[in-house]
Each structure stands twice: as C-alpha cells, then as structure tokens.
C-alpha cells in the first residue's frame, strides 16, 4: 500500500506516514481515539533504499510497501520491482545519483502488451486492478473480475483505419517513387540538353560575337584614323583654311570659336543640349576633351590609334550619321523639363566635361518659377512650342556664372542686333498675349498701360483675328529661342576656354571643326569676322544704332591688311559682295522701315502717348535679325574647304553587314541563355533542390489546390501564391508567395510555406503553411487561422509517403 493506506486498530485513524531515521526499526504511528491520544510503536519488517530525501543515505522502508504501486525508492525503484511505478523516476527533479560506478543510463520501462492490441501498452500497476483494459481481459489474469471478450467489435474500426492507412501509404509510396523516377529520368535528359546548349553557346555563338565585334572595332578605327588624318591634313592644313583663319591671333581665334558656337546654336536650335556640341565634336577630331578644371590631350594618331574606344565610337557616329544629332558624349543628353542645374553650381565641381556637364537640364534643380530670359510677358501660361497656339516652356533666366558669361557675349558687337531683337520681340509677344487673352467684342481695346490698340481704334472695326496674332507671336518666339540657344552655346565655349590654354594650331583646327560640324556657311564666317575684328568695328560702335540694316557699315565688304595679305580672303569677300548687293537692292528698304518703325514704337510706348502697332507677319530680317541657316552643298566652304572630308567614303555597307551578323549572333545568344534558364527552372536548378527531396515536387509544380473552410476558399499554388477567397469571384486576399518546403523539427513532416502576403490591418503580413501527411493523392484537407493572419493548412500527398512516415506510423 502507498501513502494514504489505513490500519484499523481499535477506533483509530491513520493520519500520516511518519518517516524515522535509519537507526530505528519500528514504525511510529499517531493514533487518535475518541477520548485519548495513543502513540503505538508497531514493529515491522523493513529494508533500506535510497529515498532521495537525504542525499547519499539509505532509509528503512516497510516490506508491506513492496509492489504496492507507489514509488517509495525513486532512485533505483527497489520497492517496485514488479510494477512500473518507478519507471520514470530517473527524471525526478533534483535527484542526482552520486554513485558513478553504477550504470546511470535510463532503464527501459516495463509494459504489458495486450495480445490482440499490440499498440496498447499498459503499466504493470494496471494488472489485476479490477479494470478490464485489454479487449479480451488478458490484463486481469487472476480473474479478480470477469472481462468480456469484445475484441472483434473494438478492433474492427481500428483494423479498417489501419488498413486504409496501409493502403494509402502503399499507393502513395508507389506513386511517389514513380514520380521521382520520372523526374530523375527527365533531369538526366535535361542535363544533357543543357550541356549541348552551353557547348554551342560557349564554343560557337560567343566566339562569333567577339570576332565580329573585333572586326567592327577595327573597321571603325581604320575609318576614324583616316577621318582624323583628313580633317588635319586635308582640311585644317589646307591653303584655304590657312587663308581663312591663320591671320587671326590666339585671342581672336578664341573669340571666333565662341561666336561660331553662338551662330551654330541658332542654326542647330533643335540640338537637345546647352553646350556647344560642334566644338565638342571638333575636339574629338584632335583627341581633345575637357575636364572640370583642365583639358586632356591624347597623342594624335601617327600610325597607331591612341584614342579611347569611346572617342573612336563618337567620331565614327558623327561621321556616319550626317545631319543627325551630334554625338560628343556617351551620356544621355535628354532635356528634362523643370529640372535644371545652373552653371554657377557646376563651375567648380568635379564633373567630367566630356559628359554633358554644361547642360543645365539635370535632375537636381527645379526652376519652374523662373521667367524666360528677356521675356517681359506676364502671361506665364503661354509657353511657346512652335505650334500656332502655344509657347514652349521658357528657358530660365541665367544666373551666377552662366549669366556672367552670357552677358559678356551679349555685350559684344556681334550680338548687338540680336539683343535689340530680343528686347523688341518679347515686348510685342507680351502685348499679343494680352490681346488674345482679352475680350475681343469691343468691351475694351486698351492694354494695361492705357495704350490704345490701333486694330480696334474704331468700335465699329472688325474683330481682331487671334490666330493671326498668335502666328506672329510664335514666329517671334521661335527666333527668340534660337538666339537664346546661341547665347548658351557661346557661353559654354567661353567656359571651356577658361579651363584650357590651347595652342594657335589647335585653336585653328577647333575653329575649322566648329564651322564644319556647326553647319556654318561662308557668309556666317564673314559676319563673325565683322563682329570680332577691331578694324571692322571703329570705336563709334560698329553696327549703326540708327534705323538701317545691321550690316550697313559692312557693305560693301572691305579688306584689311594682315601681315601684308588682304583679309578676309576672296572666298568670303565674294559671298559678302553678293549679300550686300541683295541687301541694298532687295530687302534693305523693307528692313530699314521695319527696324525704324519698331524703334519708334518702343519710344512711343515708353511715353504712353501713342498706339502700339502689331505686325501682321514676321518677314526675314524683321527688326534687323535674319536667322542663319545650315550650310548648303553649293556653299563655297562645302566645295572648296570641306570637300575632302565630305567625300570620304564611310564603310556603311560593310559595317551594316557586320552589325547584322553580330545582332543575329546576339539574338541567338539570348535565346540559348533563355533556353538554358528555362531548363534549370524546370528541373529545380543546378542542384535540383528547388524541386524538393529527390525532385518530389516536380509533379506538383505550378499546380493549385483548394479547400473550403467556413465561408472562405483557400488556394495554394506550388511555386506560386496562396490566397483566401470569399465567394466565387475575384483574386481574393494574397496570403503570400512561395518560399519553399522544409521539414518540421518536431514531427518530421514536410511544411510548405508562403510568405509576404497582404498586410493585415494593424498586424503583420499574411503567411500560410501547409503541413503534409501521407496520402494517395494531392488534396488539401483543412484550413485554420491559429494566429492573426497566420494560416495553417493540412494536406495529403504522395510526397509524404516515405520511410520516415512508415517508421513514425509503425507500418
């Protein structure tokens, strides 16, 4: 008997078992009668064991306590040799066995196994306890109670479940093994295909691309070498080039290039950059680039090409694509509206001026609140874009170093007529903007200064045609944009020269290159010389300030003496003579009248006393400004100076053939790489692990499985996403994307995981885990949400029918 057993001695009640020291051999009992308390010492047979109450000491235990189902000796279980009452005593907390010589390994518990229920194991204490635990009563061998044999009834359901478990396992195992074998066969086939594709890629296609690329590079280098040599020896060193520019000193050459850039900006107004691209490209021809505070001069090509591959490519691009956008940098020269960087912000920075670093249109500046330069209109919405009914986004007012450089160019004699045009054209455009934006029904016909508009002086006069005024304004603003672009390009050239100290020979070659790439004509060159040479600009002011042609003082063309040689040369004098004759006999009087009228209008406007006359058209030479145009093929410079470079044959056909070959090989390379990637994806990567153990997920790849739980349908897609849907429509809530499959540490079951789903309100992102058990087919069984936004599902699948499952289930 254990603790709590009773002894009936007289009307005595056992209150407790009192332990005595090992020196006593009797059991001390406290007995209570109705009137007295009697202490009785009852002699008993006893034995000693380690109770654990006193570490390392033995205590006496009555023999009656042997095999009573209560563990009195938990260290070694000596009092319960025939029961399992002490089977777990080795884990009793706080008890440490000090005897190191004895075996301290846990003893296997002793169980009674029911004959017809091998999975039912009973502790020995449940034998002959009067309770039938085995279905046939074999746990009560001494017949204390009579047990009915109901094994057939009890085991039928167990046998059915066991049989189904065994059947599903065998079926699932067979299916799993078959699918794994199929995958391994497929993998071997695919690996062979990969090997063949990689062999073709690495030994045929890539070498072909590299070989073709080498041929293209060599072809371009040879052409560039020939082109640079032609520009140097056939053009810049020609007698015509020497006559054209050699008489100029170093400072005059720099001034010439600056204003050549200014005029090139007006000609190539559509070039999407604010730096002088022709000068940049001309620099490439002599292997010259500019950096932040200096310039880089690469050795010229004397038999070997010493230019970088980038420079070779740029020179070649400018040669092959004639008439297109000039290429002087590998950076993208895309104009980004509303994001510009000022020149004074980059003047001392570390940017490389080989790139488009003078270009203000960068992402780190926003000047949307700025007004256009010299544009006095208050109508900010009318941004001219060349169409008949709108403006472009106006360029911002120059600031800082940019303004300083532009002001210096604007104040030059060459720019005098341009400044006059800018001021007056902007004034007229501003008035037109107010006219077309005001009521035209006779309600008011005054501008905001009180000036009366002559078109509607009489209230009975016909209404003003807004389209005609808009056309005039747009034509004026086209020319304004062209002049502003020229000023920017001139400022960029001035900036570049502030960084470098070029020789006169280099400056001459740069000047010739700027003329060539800037599409300047012989007349343009003559006009620049009229503006920069002091002999053509007396201290009185050069171009006349009074009403008249801006070239009145230059016509007829004159020559000056430079080192005993008449200058400019005849190639320019002949063109200038024709120009002056046309000015005098043709448009001179019209231009004179327009210029004088415009000046008088400005004076009257300042006095607020007279009307403002709005022109009905903008003829060439209006307000004294004629926009330059691109050099033609019959221009003297095209024929006599640039003939050698223009006639230099470019290897277009040969290049096209090589580039087509390279392009085809690159397409084949991409297709091969794509095919190889698809194969690796199909077989789980190079190690196959993406398809699970031995490729067991291959048969499930890209398949979706669903189960209904409550009002929701849960769907999981292998290698895809998991979702929760309510009803039959819509994509449902994203529970996460596939993250892989792993083994659960405790149960050994496979767990498929989806993570990174839709975020719960005030909670984590949703996730789903599918616990896989053995089954004959792939089927989701249940779905639950044990924690907020964490979904747990159960699934049957043949992939779970492996040796681990067999051992775990005792199959």
- Model confidence pLDDT, tens digit, residues 235-246: 999 999 999 999
Please give the helix or strand (H or E) that residue 475 lies within, else none.
helix 466-499
- Write the pLDDT tens digit of every residue in 487-504: 999 998 998 888 778 889
Distance CA 269, CA 478 (A): 9
- Residue 783: closest CA among 707, 704, 705: 707
Asked if 591 contacts 552 with a C-beta cutoff of 8 angstroms, the reply is no
218 belongs to a structural domain? no
Residue of higher predicted confidence among 207 and 649: 207
329 belongs to a structural domain? yes
Residue 578 CB: number of other CB atoms within 10 A? Answer: 12
Residue 395's pLDDT is 59
- Provide the 8-state DSSP code for 41: E
3-state class (DSSP) for residue 801: coil
Q: Which two tokens stand for residue 771?
A: 């616990």
- Write the pLDDT tens digit of every residue in 739-774: 999 998 888 899 999 999 999 888 889 999 999 999
Range with the largest mean pLDDT of 33-42, 174-183, 289-298, 451-460: 174-183
Task: Please determine, for residue 397, whether its predicted confidence score (pLDDT) is greater than 50.
Answer: yes
Asked if 525 contacts 515 with a C-beta cutoff of 8 angstroms, the reply is yes
Backbone region of residue 579 per phi and psi (left: phi > 0; alpha: psi in -120 to 50; beta: other values): alpha
- Write the pLDDT tens digit of every residue in 534-564: 888 754 334 444 455 677 788 889 999 988 8
pLDDT band for 23, please (50, 70, 90 cuts).
very low
Q: Which of 20-29, 301-310, 466-475 has the lowest mean pLDDT?
A: 20-29
Residue 593's pLDDT is 52
Dihedral of CA 347/350/356/361: which sign? Answer: negative
Residue 719's pLDDT is 92
Q: Which two tokens stand for residue 81?
A: 């040799």
Mark whether 339 and 480 lie in a shared domain: yes
Residue 599's pLDDT is 52
Mark whether 694 and 639 lie in a shared domain: no
215 belongs to a structural domain? no
Distance CA 16, CA 14 (A): 6
Mark whether 637 and 693 lie in a shared domain: no
Mark whether 704 and 773 lie in a shared domain: yes
Q: What is the DSSP string of 742-800?
A: EE-TTT--EEEEEEE-PBPTTS-B-EEEEEEEE-SS-EEEEEEEEETTEEEEEEEEGGG
Please give the helix or strand (H or E) that residue 739 lies within, else none.
strand 733-743
Write down which residue in 587, 618, 645 finishes a domain.
645
pLDDT band for 590, please (50, 70, 90 cuts).
low
Share of the chain above pLDDT 90, in %: 33
Asked if 681 contacts 698 with a C-beta cutoff of 8 angstroms, the reply is no
Mark whether 568 and 702 lie in a shared domain: no
> What would the mean pLDDT of 458-465 be, rounded to a whole number?
48
- Residue 498: closest CA among 619, 623, 343: 343
Residue of higher predicted confidence among 722 and 118: 722
Mark whether 635 and 744 lie in a shared domain: no
Q: Which two tokens stand for residue 551?
A: 């070239």
- Domain tally, the chain: 3
Query: Mean pLDDT for the chain?
Result: 75
Residue 27's pLDDT is 37
Task: Please determine, for residue 193, whether its predicted confidence score (pLDDT) is greater than 90.
Answer: yes
Share of the chain above pLDDT 70, in %: 70
- Write the pLDDT tens digit of every residue in 2-21: 333 333 333 333 333 333 33
- Provide the 8-state DSSP code for 39: E
3-state class (DSSP) for residue 515: helix
CA 108 to chain centre: 64
> What would the mean pLDDT of 352-373 be, rounded to a whole number?
33
Write down which residue in 615, 645, 675 finishes a domain.
645
Helical residues (DSSP H) of 583-651, grouped into ranges? 588-607, 636, 643-646
Task: Please determine, for residue 322, whether its predicted confidence score (pLDDT) is greater than 80.
Answer: no
Please, which residues bridge with residue 518 across strands? none
- Residue 727: closest CA among 712, 742, 710: 712
> What would the mean pLDDT of 282-300 be, rounded to a whole number?
63
pLDDT band for 604, please (50, 70, 90 cuts).
low
Please give the helix or strand (H or E) that residue 285 lies within, else none.
helix 277-285
Residue of higher predicted confidence among 76 and 716: 716
Dihedral of CA 356/357/359/362: which sign? Answer: positive
138 belongs to a structural domain? no
Residues 6+ apart with CB under 8 A from 597: 613
Asked if 757 contacts 769 with a C-beta cutoff of 8 angstroms, the reply is no
Task: Please determine, for residue 575, whether its predicted confidence score (pLDDT) is greater than 80.
Answer: yes
Residue 772's pLDDT is 94
Residue range(s) defining the domain that contains residue 785? 689-809
CATH of the domain at 700: 2.70.130.10
Residue of higher predicted confidence among 453 and 373: 453
Please, which residues bridge with residue 37 across strands? 32
Q: Provide the pairing of β-strand 750-756 with 767-774.
A: antiparallel
Write down which residue in 77, 100, 126 finishes a domain.
126
Asked if 492 contacts 634 with a C-beta cutoff of 8 angstroms, the reply is no
Mark whether 639 and 693 lie in a shared domain: no
Task: Please determine, for residue 680, whether its predicted confidence score (pLDDT) is greater than 60.
Answer: yes
Range with the largest mean pLDDT of 63-67, 409-413, 542-546, 672-676: 672-676
Q: Which of 341-355, 629-643, 793-807 has the lowest mean pLDDT?
A: 341-355
Long-range contacts of 597-601 (CB under 8 A, 24+ apart): 598/424, 598/623, 599/424, 599/547
pLDDT band for 672, please (50, 70, 90 cuts).
very high
Q: Which of 191-205, 316-330, 760-774 has the lowest mean pLDDT?
A: 316-330
Q: Which two tokens stand for residue 553?
A: 């003082």
pLDDT band for 291, please (50, 70, 90 cuts).
low
Distance CA 386, CA 398 (A): 22
Backbone region of residue 349 per phi and psi (left: phi > 0; alpha: psi in -120 to 50; beta: other values): beta
Mark whether 702 and 575 lie in a shared domain: no
Residue 211's pLDDT is 96
pLDDT band for 713, please (50, 70, 90 cuts).
very high
Task: Please determine, for residue 613, whether its predicted confidence score (pLDDT) is greater than 90.
Answer: no
Residue of higher predicted confidence among 300 and 526: 526
Q: Which of 447-451, 466-470, 713-717, 732-736 has the lowest mean pLDDT?
A: 447-451
Distance CA 285, CA 234 (A): 13
3-state class (DSSP) for residue 731: coil
Q: Which of 311-320, 529-538, 658-667 has the lowest mean pLDDT?
A: 311-320
pLDDT band for 702, please (50, 70, 90 cuts).
confident
pLDDT band for 108, please (50, 70, 90 cuts).
low
> What would the mean pLDDT of 416-425 be, rounded to a whole number?
87
> What would the mean pLDDT of 339-349 be, rounded to a whole number?
33
Between the CA atoms of 522, 527, 529 and 535, what dihedral angle is there, to the nearest 10 degrees? 130
Exposed/middle/buried for 780, CB within 10 Å: 0-12, 13-18, 19+? buried
Mark whether 593 and 712 lie in a shared domain: no
For every residue of 676-730, which 3-state class applies, written as one string?
HHHHHHHCCCCCCHHHCHHHCCHHHCCCEEEEEECCEEEEEECCCEEEEEECCCC
pLDDT band for 373, please (50, 70, 90 cuts).
very low
Distance CA 432, CA 613 (A): 11
Mark whether 721 and 620 lie in a shared domain: no
Backbone region of residue 67 per phi and psi (left: phi > 0; alpha: psi in -120 to 50; beta: other values): left
Mark whether 320 and 469 lie in a shared domain: yes
Q: Which of 57-66, 488-497, 583-592, 701-710 has the lowest mean pLDDT?
A: 583-592
Residue 32's pLDDT is 37
| Residue in this structure with the two tokens 């998991």, named with its chain if needed | 722
Task: Please determine, for residue 698, whether its predicted confidence score (pLDDT) is greater than 80.
Answer: yes
Residue of higher predicted confidence among 550 and 331: 550
Asked if 311 contacts 341 with a C-beta cutoff of 8 angstroms, the reply is no
3-state class (DSSP) for residue 480: helix
Asked if 647 contacts 227 with a C-beta cutoff of 8 angstroms, the reply is no
Residue 601's pLDDT is 55
3-state class (DSSP) for residue 325: coil
Residue 326's pLDDT is 79
Task: Please determine, for residue 24, whether its predicted confidence score (pLDDT) is greater than 50.
Answer: no
Residue 181's pLDDT is 92
Beta strands in 551-638 (DSSP E): 560-562, 565-567
Residue 190's pLDDT is 92
Mark whether 720 and 614 lie in a shared domain: no
Please give the helix or strand (H or E) that residue 170 lies within, else none.
helix 151-200
Residue 21's pLDDT is 36
pLDDT band for 399, please (50, 70, 90 cuts).
low
Q: Which two tokens stand for residue 608?
A: 């607020």
149 belongs to a structural domain? no
Please, which residues bridge with residue 27 across strands? 42
Task: Please determine, for residue 455, whether its predicted confidence score (pLDDT) is greater than 60.
Answer: no
Exposed/middle/buried for 2, CB within 10 Å: 0-12, 13-18, 19+? middle
Residue of higher predicted confidence among 306 and 200: 200
181 belongs to a structural domain? no
175 belongs to a structural domain? no
Q: Provide the pairing of β-strand 767-774 with 790-797.
A: parallel
Task: Please determine, for residue 508, whether its predicted confidence score (pLDDT) is greater than 60.
Answer: yes
Range with the largest mean pLDDT of 72-81, 171-180, 385-394: 171-180
Task: Please determine, for residue 386, whether its predicted confidence score (pLDDT) is greater than 60.
Answer: no
Dihedral of CA 32/33/36/42: which sign? Answer: negative
Q: Which of 315-324, 407-416, 462-471, 589-598 has the lowest mean pLDDT?
A: 589-598
Residue 773's pLDDT is 93
Residue of higher predicted confidence among 2 and 467: 467
pLDDT band for 145, please (50, 70, 90 cuts).
confident
- Residue 753: closest CA among 771, 768, 764, 773: 768
> What would the mean pLDDT of 71-85 be, rounded to a whole number?
76
> What would the mean pLDDT of 439-464 be, rounded to a whole number?
43
Residue 275's pLDDT is 86
144 belongs to a structural domain? no
Q: Which of 343-352, 528-537, 713-722 has the lowest mean pLDDT?
A: 343-352
Task: Please determine, for residue 102, whether its predicted confidence score (pLDDT) is greater than 60.
Answer: no
- How far apart, in Å, do the first and last CA atoms of the chain sit? 41
Residue 728's pLDDT is 66
Residue 544 CB: number of other CB atoms within 10 A? Answer: 15
């Amino acid at each position: 008997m254990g603790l709590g057993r009773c002894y009936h001695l007289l009307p005595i009640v056992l209150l407790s078992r009192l332990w005595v020291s090992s020196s006593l051999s009797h059991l001390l009992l406290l007995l209570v009668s109705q009137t007295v308390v009697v202490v009785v010492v009852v002699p008993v047979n006893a034995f000693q064991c380690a109770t654990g109450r006193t570490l390392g000491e033995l205590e006496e235990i009555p023999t009656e306590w042997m095999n009573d189902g209560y563990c009195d000796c938990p260290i070694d279980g000596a009092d319960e040799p025939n029961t399992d009452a002490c089977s777990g005593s080795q884990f009793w907390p706080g008890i440490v066995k000090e005897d190191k010589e004895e075996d301290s390994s846990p003893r296997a518990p002793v169980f009674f196994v029911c004959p017809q229920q091998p999975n039912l194991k009973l502790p020995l204490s449940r034998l002959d306890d009067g309770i039938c635990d085995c279905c046939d009563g074999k746990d009560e061998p001494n017949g204390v109670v009579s047990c009915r044999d109901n094994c057939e009834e009890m085991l039928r359901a167990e046998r059915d479940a066991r049989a189904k478990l065994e059947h599903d396992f065998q079926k699932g195992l067979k299916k799993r093994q078959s699918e794994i074998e199929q995958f391994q066969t497929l993998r071997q086939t695919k690996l062979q295909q990969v090997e063949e594709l990689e062999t073709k890629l690495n030994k045929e296609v890539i070498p072909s691309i590299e070989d073709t690329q080498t041929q293209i590079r060599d072809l371009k280098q040879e052409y560039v070498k020939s082109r640079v040599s032609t520009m140097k020896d056939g053009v810049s060193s020609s007698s015509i080039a020497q006559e054209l520019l050699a008489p100029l000193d170093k400072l005059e050459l720099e001034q010439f290039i600056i204003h050549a850039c200014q005029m090139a900006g007006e000609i190539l107004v559509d070039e999407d950059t604010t730096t002088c691209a022709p000068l940049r490209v001309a620099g490439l021809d002599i292997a010259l680039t500019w950096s932040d505070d200096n310039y880089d001069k690469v050795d010229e090509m004397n038999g070997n090409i010493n230019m970088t591959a980038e420079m070779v490519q740029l020179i070649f691009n400018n040669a092959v694509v004639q008439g297109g956008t000039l290429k002087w940098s590998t950076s993208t020269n895309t104009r980004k509206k509303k994001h510009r960087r000022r020149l004074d912000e980059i003047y001392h920075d570390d940017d490389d001026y080989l790139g488009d670093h003078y270009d203000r249109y960068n992402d780190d500046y926003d000047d949307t609140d700025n007004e256009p330069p010299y544009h006095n209109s208050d109508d900010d919405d009318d941004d001219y874009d060349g169409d008949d009914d709108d403006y472009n986004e106006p360029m911002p007012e120059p600031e800082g170093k940019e303004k300083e450089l532009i002001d210096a160019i604007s104040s030059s004699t060459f720019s005098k007529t341009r400044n006059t045009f800018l001021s007056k054209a902007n004034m007229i455009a501003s008035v037109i903007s107010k006219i077309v934006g005001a009521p035209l029904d006779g309600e008011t016909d005054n501008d905001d200064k009180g000036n009366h508009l002559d078109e509607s002086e009489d209230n009975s006069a016909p209404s003003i045609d807004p389209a005609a005024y808009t056309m005039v304004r747009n034509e004026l603003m086209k020319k304004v944009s062209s002049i502003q672009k020229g000023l920017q390009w001139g400022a960029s050239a001035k900036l570049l020269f502030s960084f470098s100290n070029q020789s006169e020979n280099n400056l001459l070659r740069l000047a010739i290159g700027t003329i060539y790439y800037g599409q300047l004509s012989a007349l343009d060159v003559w006009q620049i010389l009229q503006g920069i040479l002091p002999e053509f600009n007396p201290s009185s002011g050069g171009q006349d300030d009074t009403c008249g042609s801006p070239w009145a003082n230059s016509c007829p063309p004159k020559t000056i003496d430079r080192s005993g040689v008449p200058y400019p040369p005849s190639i320019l004098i002949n063109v200038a003579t024709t120009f002056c004759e046309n000015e005098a006999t043709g448009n001179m009087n019209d231009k004179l009248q327009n210029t004088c009228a415009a000046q008088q209008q400005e004076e009257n406007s300042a006095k607020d006393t007279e009307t403002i006359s709005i022109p009905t058209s903008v003829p060439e030479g209006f307000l004294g400004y004629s926009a330059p145009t691109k050099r033609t093929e019959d221009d003297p410079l095209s024929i006599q100076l640039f003939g050698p470079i223009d006639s230099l044959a470019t290897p277009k056909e040969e290049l096209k053939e090589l580039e087509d070959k390279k392009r085809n090989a690159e397409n084949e390379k991409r297709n091969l790489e794509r095919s190889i990637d698809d194969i690796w994806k199909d077989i789980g990567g190079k190690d196959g692990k993406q398809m699970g153990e031995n490729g067991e997920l291959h048969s499930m790849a890209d398949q979706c499985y669903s189960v209904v739980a409550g009002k929701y349908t849960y769907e999981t897609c292998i290698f895809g996403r998991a979702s929760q849907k309510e009803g039959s429509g819509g994509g449902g809530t994203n529970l996460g994307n596939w993250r892989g499959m792993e083994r659960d540490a405790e149960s050994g079951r496979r767990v498929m995981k989806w993570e990174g789903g839709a975020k719960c309100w005030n909670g984590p992102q949703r996730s789903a885990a599918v616990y896989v058990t053995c089954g004959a087919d792939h089927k989701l069984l249940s779905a639950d949400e044990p924690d907020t936004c964490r979904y747990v599902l159960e699934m049957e699948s043949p992939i779970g029918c492996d040796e681990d499952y067999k051992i775990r289930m005792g199959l």
